[in-house]
Chains A and B, each alone.
Chain A
């Protein structure tokens, strides 16, 4: 039969036999249990016998119902007896551990932290992060100094390879974005300048904006996204594949072997990319100047040199170099920090980009402050 049947014999308060018959499985247990509960409540037996001989099919959930019945009876100090389970049912029931129902978890469930606790935990994580980064910085400086004293250990070929790689990766991205940036700056400036008849100042505005701020900043952020994240991913993956351990075993210092070439390469390449970015931004402005503002090519170009001083240019280059160190350094550090699991590759990559952007902007603000105070 496809249905179930629960019948009972016996008087209230006395020995009661409950016959469970038919199909006792996932699809019927809800009703079966309700029936069993009803019987127990109505009859309040002093002794319970569970008759199982007419069960045609029982799955593990069905067995669970019987366990639950027995357990609740035992809790009320009612002696229980199982009768005539078929071999199949006996087999099923021996497979299930009744103790599992009452097994307390070894560890408490994780409750969601309240706002305050969450804040606290995040603060601790930030603190640990800062400590870890400073430690890496120390290791890095020591490795670099050691390499200076033992030039043979310096991996020149690797550094050149990284220079080529970071440069190649950056060129298209920086080119397009900086061009568009110069374009947009010129567009907005033109809109304003037009009112005051100061269109001729357009090249100055664009050049100043690019060289003093946007060029180095945007280039660094782009390189962080393109190459800094790649550094983190590469090194994190190497951790998983035991490659970093293998390096150590073979007598190499992983920081000197992996991080130093990448950081040095980025420090060298970023200023060059920034200059290239600046030029493309100025060119973007040129397009607006000639097409929208009706300036001649010559008049636009003449406005460029006067816009910035040597000091500005130098500041731009120095800032780029510093950004380069930050981007590559954080990228490598995040890679080394990754624990050995595939998810960590993803988190380290994201973290490398976010932290780099934060550091770049922070340093930029700091630089602006210092420059203005020093009156350069």
Chain B
């Protein structure tokens, strides 16, 4: 299950990240590392800032202070060339799939290849077909995203994110809005990609069964603390966490409700 042989080699380093949104501090002093080859999860209650954290790790938002380093490159202050090279090594699956609605599935997956490489079209066609096959979407080349189901859109998004064989794959709530079976299939795909290609995965998720199935290490973000309230192996945290909220999260148990107290007085 967990890739025990993942090297302790940090591929993503977040240092002292602080961000504000609309005048309010969302995250303060967040620091952690993602090791090469692992399946790293970012968890937390709704509104705790995990999607915001991911956006900062992707360079889609600027922190108020702190640093994000990917493969040794500080993405906040980096030169355009370094950023360009870095982008080729990262793939992203957005929550809604992020496929371009005006292009076919084939063109979507081919896009990074066409833009960033000089490969001939015939080679690109083979690569795209192979990626589509990898995510079990063979034959849907000429379908538009609007003609695909939710699960298929996500798999299409993964195919595009994997087009250039990135070293890191970032996924924003991959199981959101999926039925349990499709979500499980997606989990299996992520596991296969990680174990078969050694791709490091950074996954923001709320899907508990997914967390316990495929996560190797995780951090839990607390809304009140604006930072990390727990980290480690999710299965261990489920048994041994000391914070009630963390225990509640992993065991799908709401905090004890404070009742009216007037019942049967």
Contact = CB atoms under 8 A, between A and B. Distances in A.
A223 to B, nearest CB: 20
Contacts of B90: 249
B262 interface: yes
A290 B3 CA distance: 87
Interface string B78-104: 000001100100101011111111000
Interface string A220-240: 000000000000000001101
A98 B94 contact: no
A291 interface: no
B260 A249 contact: no
Contacts of B60: 245, 248-249
Interface in A226-266: 237-238, 240-243, 245-246, 248-252
B196 interface: no
What class of interface size applies to chain B in its complex with A? 20 to 34
Given A82-B265, A93-B260, A98-B260, A250 B111 contact: yes
A242 B263 contact: no
Contacts, number: 63
A128 to B, nearest CB: 14
A137 interface: no
A38 interface: no
B115 interface: yes
A243 B111 contact: no
Contacts of B83: 251
Contact of B87 (A82, A90, A93, A251): A251
A82 to B, nearest CB: 6
B84 A242 contact: no
B23 to A, nearest CB: 15
What class of interface size applies to chain A in its complex with B? 20 to 34
Contacts of B265: 81-82
A94 B260 contact: yes
A99 B262 CA distance: 10
Nearest to A90: B264
A242 B96 contact: yes
A98 B262 contact: yes
Nearest to B160: A246
A237 B101 contact: yes
B92 A246 contact: yes
B256 to A, nearest CB: 14
Contact of B116 (A96, A237, A251): A251
A96 B101 contact: no
Interface in A80-104: 81-82, 85, 90, 93-99
Contact of A241 (B84, B101, B112, B116): B101
Nearest to A237: B101
A257 to B, nearest CB: 10
Contacts of B116: 251
Contacts of A238: 100-101
A251 B87 CA distance: 7
Contacts of A251: 83-84, 87, 115-116
A71 to B, nearest CB: 11
A90 B260 CA distance: 11
Give the most central of A81, A82, A99, A246: most B CB within 10 Å: A246
Given A237-B101, A250-B111, A245 B94 contact: yes
B77 interface: no
A243 B101 contact: yes
Nearest to A243: B100
B158 to A, nearest CB: 13
Contacts of A90: 263-264
A245 B263 contact: no
B260 A96 contact: yes
B161 to A, nearest CB: 9
A238 B100 CA distance: 8
B237 interface: no
Contacts of A99: 260
Give the most central of B59, B94, B262: most A CB within 10 Å: B262
B58 A249 contact: yes
11 contacts: A81-B265, A94-B263, A97-B259, A98-B260, A98-B262, A238-B100, A241-B99, A245-B60, A246-B100, A250-B115, A252-B115
Give 8 closest A-B pairs by Cβ, nearest first. Answer: A94-B263, A242-B94, A246-B98, A242-B98, A251-B87, A249-B92, A97-B260, A242-B96
Interface of B: 58-60, 83-84, 87, 90, 92, 94-101, 111-112, 115-116, 259-260, 262-265
Interface of A: 81-82, 85, 90, 93-99, 237-238, 240-243, 245-246, 248-252
Given A238-B101, A243-B98, A251-B115, 17 more contacts: A85-B264, A90-B264, A98-B260, A99-B260, A237-B101, A242-B97, A243-B100, A246-B94, A246-B98, A246-B99, A249-B59, A249-B60, A249-B87, A249-B90, A250-B115, A251-B83, A251-B84
